[in-house]
Amino acid sequence: MADHPSQPSAEQREIADEQAYVDVVYGRLEESTKAAQALAREGYARGHVGHEGGLVERDAMVYQASKRIAALNAAHEGLVFGRLDLRGGEKRYIGRIGVRDAEREVLLIDWRAPAASVFYQATAQDPAGVVRRRVLRSRGSTVIGVEDDLLDGDHAPDDMVVVGEGALLASLSRARDASMHSVVATIQKEQDEAIRAPSRGATTIGGGPGTGKTVVALHRAAYLLYVDRRRFESGGVLVVGPSGVFMNYIERVLPSLGETAVTLRSLGEVVDGVSGRAHDPADVAAVKGSARMLQVLTRASRAAQPGEPTQFRYFYRDDVLRLDAVALDRLRRQLISGQQRNRAYGRVQKTLLDALWAQVEGERALEKERDEFDKTLTGDDKFLEFAAAWWPPLDAVDVWESLADVDTLRRYADGVLKRTEIELLARAWQAAGGVPSIEDVPLIDELRYLLGEVPPEDGDDDPYDVKQLMSFEREDQVSRKQRATQSIEDDSYAHVLVDEAQDLSPMQWRMLGRRGKYASWTIVGDPAQSSWPYPEEAAAARAAALDGKEEHFFRLSTNYRNSAEIYDLAAEVAHAAIPGADTPDAVRRTGQEPRHEVVAADDLHAQVRYGVRELLGAVEGSVAVVVPGARRDEFAEALSEEREEFDRLRVLDGLDTKGLEFDAVLVIEPDEIVAESDAGWRTLYVVLTRATQLLLTVGSTRAWLDRIGG
Ligand SMILES: Nc1ncnc2c1ncn2[C@@H]1O[C@H](COP(=O)(O)OP(=O)(O)OP(=O)(O)O)[C@@H](O)[C@H]1O
């Protein structure tokens, strides 16, 4: 019998019931937030006690309370998202964080708790005691829909209502905005297995485009913090992604899962105090990332620096003491042998004094005389200035900057890099004028380790000063010049999670390896989407970074991003041009085939503008225009009016689209994207797999279509 219009439908009644429960949970959340705010206020009050202990106590209290408030606020949206009805009548609600009532009875189970795992694992074939699984869809704190799976009809009570047509499909069809969202309500079984894998050695999560690798990895970070908070919060969890654009895209997921204790860094920002924002062109990146750079940098870290004095003369009593270039070189090697240059700093004066004393004739055997000699020289500015000029503490950034001089670089790279490579690098560095690229950051980091920490200058602030570490009032001093600000010991983490790992160069693997020496790892990637041209070299660097850690593999097999129509096209590119590509199954059909416009070069701009307008009109959410790297500015300019009018429109090059997704994508000149680098086909594959609903290509040539027989 149809419901009477004035009568609520079965679904509305279910929603109202769920809302009543959800309201109770939010009420309780509000009480917790108020308690945390009161704690923060009390902490501030202690700061006024006026002694240092008061300040430290205040900072610790305020810090804990602020963290709690941030976690509670972040979990607010869609706090309660799941319900399980078990055989025997027990009900369990699952949410982003755990919540108890005033009597400590569980109101909401944290999705990461063992009691929640069955929410993701139960299937109709193996219901594991679950009769009905329900996903609650909410906007803010309002329940707007429920989606049920009846897993065990034989044990369902007669009055059990089952509504909805699949939470997963409903969530996949939503419009995409500028951020990634958590999928905590609809995690699939194979994804859940990777999320909850024990934290030992290295967990590798593979699978083709759109299979949820990123989203699974982020849920895994939240899960690890939940199961072993002491270890991972104090040791730190580092999440590394390819670009700043990508980090902005994913940054909301972890807080919304109740987790704020993770360090998110793009590859250009891994080293504190140094920031690389843009990629180098593919040919420059290939040299900078190569393992051969290690040898170049090792030489740079050990060589005489440009401008260093090459001789020293000193009149002592009747003797003229001399150190010429050859002698100084020998002393340099002696000082550096087996240790970092900056660490030898404390032994410089003694080494010079020994060498000079050896030249003193006469009564030098006398101990007393030697003391006198040392005192004279170390009290003489001439000697002190020489020692300081010959062995200044070297900063990694300064040494890196010195490489822009082609003659200097040639000295270090001779026999390691080709002549053309040396010139290419020097030109790129000169053009950059001291601004590091994303590919420079691992080189600067390598130099930090090769040189050792710069010894603190007199009058430097004590980095271990408790007040400085803790006080919330401290403003970070921003210096104009980039400096690596942290000491090397601070680099280490308890867990390192790398996304888009297929793109890491050997030098980038080394940079992460140093941070994850004692860590467990999660490594996420898809070799078919790699833009790094030398996979064997990268594989060796990866193995060295993991240093024999045991590896556990997970593969995700379903593409949740692309419509099947779009992914079919991308898969054809993969099969034609990328040997061994792992192509997943895309399950969602939209009836919208991708379209290709091949136009005269003169008509390209007009056609692009037309296409962009069309896509903006056809979808509600985000639209990306993907262009060849060399023509980014040209099209950013050509589409500036549209971009002003529509903030959901982005213009990106192929590499910048890594890991992202949009409702509609327009690809300009696919053949040029292919021609731009050795990994061009793989970049095109990445680009074609970014759209959830509509894909349009516009080009003045069609070689790529001919290759796939289109
Ligand atoms: N279980 C799920 N429920 C709902 N949405 C999901 C689920 N798994 C993945 N998705 C969605 O599918 C899309 C692709 O996920 P994600 O970006 O993590 O894939 P990926 O494997 O990292 O892709 P790529 O390799 O192409 O970067 C995202 O919008 C994500 O939210």
Q: What is the pLDDT of residues 539-584, one digit of tens each?
A: 999 999 999 999 999 999 999 999 999 999 999 999 999 999 999 9
**Ligand 1 in reach of 670 Cβ (< 6 A):** no
User: What ranges do the domains of the chain cover?
Assistant: 10-165, 189-272+486-558, 312-390, 561-707
Q: Is the ipTM of this complex over 0.85?
A: yes
Q: How far is the CA of 588 from the centre of ligand 1 (A)?
A: 13
Among residues 513, 511, 383, 365, the alpha carbon closest in space to that of 447 is found at: 511
Instruction: Judge whether residue 44 has pLDDT over 50.
Output: yes
Element (H, E) at 38: helix 10-47
Sign of CA dihedral 40, 46, 48, 54: negative
Look up residue 638 and give its two tokens: 């050509």
One DSSP character per residue, 591-651 reads S---EEEE--GGGHHHHHHHHHHHHHHH-SS-EEEEE-GGGHHHHHHHTHHHHHH-TTEEE
Mean residue pLDDT across the chain: 88
Which residue, by CA, sits nearest to atom 8 of ligand 1? Answer: 212
- pLDDT tens for 407-421 read 999 999 999 999 999
**Ligand 1 in reach of 168 Cβ (< 6 A):** yes
pLDDT at 326: 94
Count of CB atoms situated within 10 Å of the CB of 39: 17
Answer yes or no: is 211 a known binding residue: yes
Q: How far is the CA of 292 from the centre of ligand 1 (A)?
A: 36
pLDDT at 55: 65
Q: How far apart are CA 241 and CA 250, in angstroms?
A: 9
Work out which ligand 1 atom sits closest to the CA atom of 658.
27
Look up residue 265 and give its two tokens: 């860094």
Q: How far apart are CA 85 and CA 91, in angstroms?
A: 5
**Ligand 1 in reach of 662 Cβ (< 6 A):** no
Answer yes or no: is 214 a known binding residue: yes
Q: How far apart are CA 112 and CA 150, in angstroms?
A: 23
Residue type, 401: E
Whether 659 and 501 have beta carbons less than 8 Å apart is answered as no
Q: How far apart are CA 636 and CA 360, in angstroms?
A: 71
Which residue, by CA, sits nearest to atom 24 of ligand 1? Answer: 209
**Probe residue for ligand 1, chosen from 183, 526, 655, 657 as the CB with the greatest number of ligand atoms within 8 Å:** 183
Class of domain 561-707 (CATH, top level): alpha beta
**Ligand 1 in reach of 250 Cβ (< 6 A):** no
- pLDDT tens for 641-698 read 888 888 899 999 998 899 999 999 999 999 999 999 889 999 999 999 999 999 999 9
Work out which ligand 1 atom sits closest to the CA atom of 560.
12
- pLDDT tens for 76-105 read 788 999 999 999 999 999 999 899 998 999
Compute and round to an integer the Cα radius of gyration of the chain: 31
Among residues 493, 506, 362, 512, the alpha carbon closest in space to that of 449 is found at: 512
Residue type, 43: G
DSSP-derived pairing of the beta strands 106-110 and 99-100: antiparallel
Instruction: Judge whether residue 443 has pLDDT over 90.
Output: yes
- pLDDT tens for 108-162 read 999 999 999 999 888 888 899 999 999 998 988 999 988 888 888 888 888 888 8
Q: How far is the CA of 211 from the centre of ligand 1 (A)?
A: 5
Which residue, by CA, sits nearest to atom 14 of ligand 1? Answer: 210
Whether 112 and 227 have beta carbons less than 8 Å apart is answered as yes
Question: Tell me, what DSSP letter sits at residue 273?
Answer: T
Work out which ligand 1 atom sits closest to the CA atom of 690.
26
Residues in CB range of 681: below 8 A, 6 or more apart = 573, 577, 578, 674
Q: How far is the CA of 271 from the centre of ligand 1 (A)?
A: 28
Look up residue 285 and give its two tokens: 């990146």
Task: Enter the pTM of the model.
Answer: 0.85
Per-residue burial over 386-415, b = 16 or more CB atoms within 10 Å of its CB, e = otherwise:
bbeebbbbbbbbbbbbbbbebebbeebbee
Look up residue 449 and give its two tokens: 């380790």
pLDDT band at 43 (very low <50, low <70, confident <90, very high): confident
Instruction: Judge whether residue 473 has pLDDT over 50.
Output: no
Look up residue 654 and give its two tokens: 């192929």
Instruction: Judge whether residue 465 has pLDDT over 50.
Output: no
Answer yes or no: is 212 a known binding residue: yes
Tell me if 189-272+486-558 shares its fold with 561-707: yes
Work out which ligand 1 atom sits closest to the CA atom of 216.
18
The three-point CA angle 656-657-659 to 5° equals 115
Query: How many residues in total does the chain contain?
Result: 710
Whether 426 and 403 have beta carbons less than 8 Å apart is answered as yes
Work out which ligand 1 atom sits closest to the CA atom of 185.
3
Whether 658 and 500 have beta carbons less than 8 Å apart is answered as yes
Look up residue 494 and give its two tokens: 């308890």
Q: How far apart are CA 683 and CA 671, in angstroms?
A: 11
Question: Tell me, what DSSP letter sits at residue 79?
Answer: -
Phi and psi (nearest 5°) for 104?
Answer: 70, 15
One DSSP character per residue, 442-467 reads HHHHHHHHHH-PPPPPTTPPPTT-HH
Residue 546 φ/ψ region, left for φ over 0, alpha for ψ in the -120 to 50 degree band, beta for the rest: alpha
Q: How far is the CA of 252 from the centre of ligand 1 (A)?
A: 15
Whether 556 and 584 have beta carbons less than 8 Å apart is answered as yes
Instruction: Judge whether residue 205 has pLDDT over 90.
Output: yes
**Probe residue for ligand 1, chosen from 172, 205, 215 as the CB with the greatest number of ligand atoms within 8 Å:** 215
Q: How far is the CA of 181 from the centre of ligand 1 (A)?
A: 9
Q: How far apart are CA 674 and CA 670, in angstroms?
A: 6
Look up residue 212 and give its two tokens: 């949820």
Class of domain 189-272+486-558 (CATH, top level): alpha beta
